[in-house]
Amino acid sequence: MTSVDTDRTITLTVNGVPREATVPVRRLLSDALRHDLGLTGTHVGCEHGVCGACTVLVDGDPVRSCLLLAVQVDGHEVTTVEGLAHADHQGGQILHPVQEAFRECHALQCGFCTPGFLTTIAAGLDKRDNAAELTEEEVDDMVGGNLCRCTGYANIKKAVHHANATMRDRA
């Protein structure tokens, strides 16, 4: 018999770490990450899927965390912006090439939209053959679903090219 619930305990892997939370079933994934799991890197902008600030990776694919219920990712793997960098074994962190590129190219100003761009672009560049030519159309398609009101996108697009070149050279 299928249970019909108002609260659920879910287990999921967030940035490689198994996590558990008991949440009301109406809890959005974006709020579960921030409020229940303390991962405030995921930013909530419009909360109805338009702005892309809350984009996270679920099983490797970028999705809007405000358009998913936390109970729907029970048993799945989530990567947030906190999971892009990795430890350097000396107590510090090595940034993801996309994060490096954003710093290098001045691709953020206020920074509110940045977590959504970073996760979206990281997934987009991870999935492609970095040695293949990266067209402007491909870049537009990659970042077109994310709103940024500061930069005018020019430096963000520059950063996408920069990160792709880094990933190509390191491959």
Partner 1 sequence: MKPAPFRYADPDTLEEALAVLSDEGAGAKVLAGGQSLLPLLSMRLAAPSTLVDINRVPGLDSVEVTGDGVTVGALVRHNALLGDDAAARVQPLLARATANVAHPAIRNRGTTVGSIAHADPSGEMTSVLALTDGSVTVATPAGPQTVEWRDLFVGPLETSISGPAVVTSAFFPALPARSGTAFAEVARRKGDYAVCGAGVVVTLDADRRVERVRASYVSVGITPEVLDLTEAVAGKPVDSADWAAAGALARTMVDPDTDIHASADYRRLLVGVLTERTLRDAAAEATARVTCE
Helix (H) or strand (E) holding 158: helix 154-170
Q: Which is nearer to partner 1, 15 or 65 (CB)?
A: 65
Decide: is 19 part of the binding site for partner 1 (CB under 8 A): no
Per CB under 8 A, does 48 bind partner 1?
Answer: yes
Among positions 39, 68, 81, 148, the unique one binding partner 1 when judged by CB under 8 A: 68
Q: Which one-letter DSSP state was computed for residue 96? A: P
Torsion over CA: 9, 12, 14, 20 (sign): positive
Sites for partner 1 among residues 108-147 (CB under 8 A): 120, 124, 140-142, 144-145
Which residues, at least 6 apart from 133, have a Cβ–Cβ distance to it below 8 Å? none
24 binds partner 1 (CB under 8 A): yes
Give the list of residues 6+ apart from residue 132 with CB closer than 8 angstroms, or none: none
In the bound state with partner 1, the residue whose beta carbon lies nearer, of 71 and 78, is 71
Sequential DSSP letters for 117-153: HHHHHHHHHHHS-TTS---HHHHHHHHTTS--SSS-S
H/E element, 108: none
Q: Choose, by CB under 8 A, the member of 37, 53, 71, 108 that binds partner 1.
A: 71
Contacts to partner 1 from residues 72-101, by CB under 8 A: 72
Q: Which residues bind partner 1 (CB under 8 A)?
A: 1-6, 8, 24-26, 28, 31, 47-49, 52, 55, 61-64, 66-69, 71-72, 120, 124, 140-142, 144-145
